[in-house]
Structure 1
Amino acid sequence: MKRKAYDELLAWKSGKTRQALLVTGARQVGKTYLVREFGRAEYSRFIEFNLATDDATRESFAAARDPEDLLLRISVAASEAFVPGETLIFIDEVQQCPNIVTLIKALVDKGEYDYILSGSLLGVELENVRSYPVGYMSELLMFPMDFEEFCWSMGLTEEAFDMVRESLRKEQPVPDYLNERMLGLFHRYLLTGGMPDAVGAFVRDGTIDNVRRIQSDIRRFYNRDITQYAPKSRRLVIQEIYRLIPSELNNSTRRFKVGDISQVKRYSQIEDEFLWLSQANVALPVYNVEEPKSPLLASKERKLLKLFYSDVGLLTSTYDKQATLGILGGLGVEGRMNYGGVYENVIAQELTAHGFVPYYFTSKKTGKLDFLIEDESGGVLALEIKSGRRFRSHAALNKALDTPGYAIDNAYVLAQTNVERDGKVLYLPVYMASVLQRPRLV
């Protein structure tokens, strides 16, 4: 499966100045597979170690006293000889042996071999590692496959997305045949999400049962990770927060109600638990701001947040199949389920993967704005997400645009529609969130 992160690996290889690469991200997002493909294609020698499955190698590396000792142990454990300038050494599940991160600096400085370290929960496990080698290690944070990558796996060409980007730039409708195709793929993406194994099963079978089995297994892995890695005093609360996310997103405000957690009354009691899930990259927090004006971070309210799953397919797989029937038709509301939370989850996921830090805004006077983001120049963009047919009704957005003192530069409504400008509001097909991209700082 083609991944955008491959280009970032190539950029690291060609542009690095004696830097190792740390590939982070939640479990099952495709880190190992991508690095393996990269190593085999771009190097004449690719050496791989998995510290979660190879006990002898893990114990040997953990016993290393200094960088030279670690390199010796790596060479002994390797299945083939190293060639200076042509060898990539890949150490996977490095959280099992965090001392490697502190020893890698001297090895990288020699410049003989390239090093990639990878693992899950690194934001949690490596938080307190001493002597983190600043300047000697770049970091690549991987996410589940975004909608564009999913479409590639389904056979859609890159040229199709070029047309979508051009339609957004010119504020012109996407051709009907392409808009219909993209909306159909988007509805399927809501069910499959972007976990590579789940996408692969869907591409292979065209049905949902194996996809949901894989998604259930991944959620089970995440719960096991909480049991294994989270502090003992917090494990049960972290697990409860993670399990509550689907029901919290099914309420009208999407806001996570702290009072729904057993024996918890104040956010301050469980702030670290929310932070753990975020650092483990299995949940995406979106915080409220006191006012919609730049810089958004300056008015962030830590006690008010919406919490999303890192992958929309993991969310929809928690609901029974009958409840998700309306997703395929894009009906928005079907029977007892409102899909607003599902749509907001996928938008939060896309925005985060594309370099934005999303916020939301709510007030008694104005109402609720689903998302606020800042572009590279600091301009504020308001996004309203509509899962149903009544997407032209957005009173809160209208009030915010007309309120003196607010500083919203652009306003988009993402819905089951095509591109259309109506005064200050630009209506976009919901899948166009996939082409919103914050340029990376070089």
Structure 2
Amino acid sequence: MFYRNIIQQLEQWRLKSNRKPLIIRGARQVGKTTAVHEFAKQFSQYIYVNLEQQKYKHIFENYTDIHKIAEQLFFVNDQELRLKHDTLLFIDEIQEVPTAINFLRYFKEEIPELPVIAAGSMLETLLGKNIVFPVGRVEYFQLRPVSFEEFLGAIGETRALAELRHVPLNYFAHSKLLELFHTYALIGGMPEIVEEYAKHRDITSLKPIYNSLINSYLEDAEKYAKNATQLQLIRFTIKQVILHAGKRITFQGFGNSNYKSKEIGEVLRTLEKTHLLHLIYPTTGYSLPLIEDFKKAPRLQFLDSGLVNFQAGIQKEIIGTDDLNKVYQGTLIEHLVGQELLANQNLPLDKLHYWVREKNSSQAELDYVLQFHNKVVPIEVKSGAAGKIKSLQQYINQAPIDYGIRFYAGELQINTLKTNEGKTFHLLNLPYFLASQTEKYIEWFVDNRPKSTSHFIVNEPTIAYEKPTNKNVEIKKLNEINDKHQRILKLILGSPKKGKEIIEEHLGLTYQSRNKKLLIKPLLDLELIEWTIPENPKSKQQAYRITQKGKDAIKN
């Protein structure tokens, strides 16, 4: 068992003076039971009640007095009732005895000193079935798949984990964290998959587990299908949802089927109650509150990107890429960033949002918008030059904010830019692997932002990540090259790269003659790099590779 961040939240819950019974929500197989078992090690006594077992069903179905129920549970498990203040009672699969949900309120009212946790995968499907949730007498946590942060801990990368949590990121940690993130992007965050990989480091051994997980979700459909026809529809929808994850959809004819909009809509909303997917409807506003427009097409967010990769057959494509934005037309990394943005959100009402321009004729769309304090922060997941983020610029032109976030394969940096309408704004460029740390970086940025001319934001102190002045200084000696030159050398150390890829995707600058002259030409002149096609310098296939002299420069 590896550490899950929800355990820290459980520790805080235990210490509350007004603690209520806790219901942990989440899809099947995300590790709810395992996390509680691990948390239970902090108690002197632990009572695990699985309501799929008849002996426990009998107690909740045949007793109505909460004290009698508690006495029976302690007796059956050979635990001492006098130590109930230091005993964790965990009621698992509580949906199997729906009336047990209402008993939770009486644990709060009559035995408040006993810490009680309940879990079930399909609790929301019980709504509308004469089941009353004890409003105000319980609280809720949401458990999601393993985050990249948790993944690093699971595979024993403690130093990398420490660097991930360090704000701002140290330059030297970028390459290794990006490499590890590619592995995480490949296998995903299902706990069983992560645990197997941590033990054997063999990706080929994971195929049976992927198959088993997907089949378990398909088999679960029997639990909430009303008839054989609906069962077939639900299973069809689950398969199509995995293949359409990260994309905007329409209900009518979903998955190239003949199913009607109403039929698909009902099934998708049922699956959403099981936490297998989220329907993310866009917002068209620029400030709080974030109001979803249910008339527009929603985007599908599936439970886990690793399952999507497996079912879509794109795992080999991930292994061979240097930028995740090139895989699956960019859908993979957009979906995974969304998964990471949700990773540390432990409340059931926490959800993702994205933005589209209100005009139907407009193509402007932002991958995500994030509520942070009293602001709505625009987020793009995109490679290339910072100045090419047109939708983000359109948003910032109208919004009461002068900064945005771009996730990409490059390194941490801040650009000071202008929109097409002349509004100055700052672009916080974060490598993909920092998505789960987004709120920490917004805090850091807001506290240390470059000075702004925008009238929306109060000026703040300048920081070290300001956009460089790029003065036209001719470089003639090795000791005159700067950090960007060194980054280029390290970048092409593994394999040749084209100039546009180096400057736009990895340095986040525009691919123009001035930048080529400042960044590429000095390295050529000093013979630190060379053309891959020296006989045809203007070839469209031209790339740059490092020379032995360049390798020696890195060592020194």
> Which of the five TM-score ranges fits, normalised by the shorter chain?
0.7 to 0.9
Alignment partner for residue 375 of structure 1, among 367, 372, 376? Answer: 372
| Residue in structure 2 matched with residue 71 of structure 1 by the alignment | 70
For structure 2, the residue ranges without an aligned partner over 5 or more in a row are: 418-424, 442-556
Q: Which amino acid aligns with 1:243?
A: K
| Residue in structure 1 matched with residue 271 of structure 2 by the alignment | 277
Q: Which amino acid aligns with 1:93?
A: E
| Residue in structure 1 matched with residue 163 of structure 2 by the alignment | 160
Return the alpha-carbon distance in structure 1 between the equivalents of residues 344 and 331 of structure 2.
20
Return the alpha-carbon distance in structure 2 between the equivalents of residues 409 and 389 of structure 1.
21
Greater mean deviation of Cα atoms: 109-118 or 141-150? 109-118
Higher relative strand content: 1
Alignment partner for residue 346 of structure 1, among 336, 339, 361? Answer: 336
Q: Is the 8 A contact 2:272 2:279 kept in 1?
A: yes
Q: What secondary structure sits across from 1:145 in the alignment?
A: coil
Q: Which amino acid aligns with 2:269?
A: L
Q: What secondary structure sits across from 1:298 in the alignment?
A: coil
Return the alpha-carbon distance in structure 1 between the equivalents of residues 210 and 310 of structure 2.
7
Q: Is the 8 A contact 1:401 1:408 kept in 2?
A: yes
Equivalent pairs: percent with the same residue?
A: 23
CA distance 1:414–1:333, shift in 2 (3 Å)? closer
Return the alpha-carbon distance in structure 1 between the equivalents of residues 17 and 210 of structure 2.
36
CA distance 1:3–1:415, shift in 2 (3 Å)? same
Corresponding position: 1:319 with 2:312: yes
Give the TM-score normalised by the residue count of structure 2: 0.69
Return the alpha-carbon distance in structure 1 between the equivalents of residues 189 and 436 of structure 2.
13
Return the alpha-carbon distance in structure 2 between the equivalents of residues 431 and 229 of structure 1.
37
* 1:405-424 → structure 2 map (5 Å cutoff): 405-407=398-400, 409-422=402-415, 423=417, 424=425
**1:265, CA displacement in angstroms?**
4.6
Q: Is the 8 A contact 1:29 1:196 kept in 2?
A: yes
| Residue in structure 2 matched with residue 171 of structure 1 by the alignment | none
Q: Is the 8 A contact 2:22 2:118 kept in 1?
A: yes
Q: Which amino acid aligns with 2:305?
A: V
Return the alpha-carbon distance in structure 1 between the equivalents of residues 71 and 285 of structure 2.
56
**1:86, CA displacement in angstroms?**
2.0
Corresponding position: 1:99 with 2:96: no
Length, aligned pairs only? 417
Q: What secondary structure sits across from 1:284 in the alignment?
A: strand
For structure 1, the residue ranges without an aligned partner over 5 or more in a row are: 168-173
Corresponding position: 1:222 with 2:180: no
| Residue in structure 1 matched with residue 131 of structure 2 by the alignment | 130
Q: Which amino acid aligns with 2:165?
A: D
Across the aligned residues of Structure 1 and Structure 2, the Cα RMSD in angstroms comes to 2.6
Return the alpha-carbon distance in structure 1 between the equivalents of residues 268 and 295 of structure 2.
11
**1:236, CA displacement in angstroms?**
3.2
| Residue in structure 2 matched with residue 25 of structure 1 by the alignment | 26
Greater mean deviation of Cα atoms: 366-375 or 67-76? 67-76
**1:48, CA displacement in angstroms?**
0.8
**1:258, CA displacement in angstroms?**
2.1
Return the alpha-carbon distance in structure 1 between the equivalents of residues 192 and 319 of structure 2.
21
Return the alpha-carbon distance in structure 1 between the equivalents of residues 74 and 115 of structure 2.
14
Q: Is the 8 A contact 1:27 1:120 kept in 2?
A: yes
Q: Is the 8 A contact 2:410 2:430 kept in 1?
A: yes
CA distance 1:409–1:390, shift in 2 (3 Å)? closer
Q: What secondary structure sits across from 2:414 in the alignment?
A: strand
Q: Which amino acid aligns with 1:187?
A: H
Q: Is the 8 A contact 2:286 2:395 kept in 1?
A: no
**1:328, CA displacement in angstroms?**
5.3
Q: Is the 8 A contact 1:61 1:73 kept in 2?
A: no
Q: What secondary structure sits across from 2:252 in the alignment?
A: helix
Q: What secondary structure sits across from 2:49 in the alignment?
A: strand
| Residue in structure 2 matched with residue 309 of structure 1 by the alignment | 302
Return the alpha-carbon distance in structure 2 between the equivalents of residues 131 and 258 of structure 1.
31
Per-residue CA deviation, residues 9-47 of structure 1 (Å, 9 max, x unaligned), is 1111111425211111111111111111111x2211111
Q: Which amino acid aligns with 1:370?
A: D
Per-residue CA deviation, residues 79-114 of structure 1 (Å, 9 max, x unaligned), is 433323222111111111121111232233223422
Q: Is the 8 A contact 2:32 2:119 kept in 1?
A: yes
Q: What secondary structure sits across from 1:300 in the alignment?
A: coil
Corresponding position: 1:150 with 2:127: no
| Residue in structure 2 matched with residue 186 of structure 1 by the alignment | 181
**1:204, CA displacement in angstroms?**
1.1
Q: Which amino acid aligns with 1:361?
A: W
Q: What secondary structure sits across from 1:17 in the alignment?
A: coil
Return the alpha-carbon distance in structure 2 between the equivalents of residues 332 and 37 of structure 1.
34
Q: Is the 8 A contact 2:343 2:436 kept in 1?
A: no
Return the alpha-carbon distance in structure 1 between the equivalents of residues 175 and 311 of structure 2.
27
CA distance 1:28–1:299, shift in 2 (3 Å)? closer
**1:383, CA displacement in angstroms?**
1.2
| Residue in structure 2 matched with residue 263 of structure 1 by the alignment | 258
**1:75, CA displacement in angstroms?**
3.5
Return the alpha-carbon distance in structure 2 between the equivalents of residues 438 and 64 of structure 1.
49
| Residue in structure 2 matched with residue 237 of structure 1 by the alignment | 233
Per-residue CA deviation, residues 143-189 of structure 1 (Å, 9 max, x unaligned), is 111111111223134431232x324xxxxxx41x3111111111111
Q: What secondary structure sits across from 2:218 in the alignment?
A: helix
Q: Is the 8 A contact 1:121 1:280 kept in 2?
A: yes
Return the alpha-carbon distance in structure 2 between the equivalents of residues 371 and 237 of structure 1.
30
- Which gives a bigger RCO, structure 1 or 2 (Cα 8 Å, sep 6+)? 1
Alignment partner for residue 384 of structure 1, among 380, 384, 387? Answer: 380
**1:278, CA displacement in angstroms?**
1.7
Return the alpha-carbon distance in structure 2 between the equivalents of residues 385 and 285 of structure 1.
19
Bigger Rg over Cα: 2
CA distance 1:224–1:16, shift in 2 (3 Å)? farther
Return the alpha-carbon distance in structure 1 between the equivalents of residues 332 and 253 of structure 2.
20
CA distance 1:244–1:432, shift in 2 (3 Å)? same
| Residue in structure 1 matched with residue 204 of structure 2 by the alignment | 209
Structure 1 stretches (4+) deviating beyond 6 angstroms?
Answer: none
| Residue in structure 2 matched with residue 170 of structure 1 by the alignment | none
Return the alpha-carbon distance in structure 1 between the equivalents of residues 20 and 263 of structure 2.
40
